[in-house]
Structure 1
């Protein structure tokens, strides 16, 4: 599902439950969905990256 579809489903569910959403509320829901997708992608990339290996710097001469 695309982020837009996820946002629209969330909005439809809330309206079906009897909530009245303003356009600002709808934009906030879509913004939250998009931010969550970006966060998940960054986390997935971080987990798949190799472990950090610290190397002692060479001494200055």
Structure 2
């Protein structure tokens, strides 16, 4: 957890694209992703998010 940034509050980041997913893995405590994106998930995990939660969602019409 990034206690030096937000105290006890986890930093949850959403990202679209390779660079934002990697940043979420480096500095975030959780990754929020909309839709199945295996490349973004791989980038998140490879950048330091291997043991961090991922929250996923889908839009329904």
TM-score by length of 2: 0.28
Name the one with the larger strand percent.
2
TM-score by length of 1: 0.28
Structure number with larger C-alpha Rg: 1
Name the one with the larger helix percent.
1
Using CA pairs below 8 Å that are at least 6 residues apart, which structure has the higher relative contact order?
Answer: 1
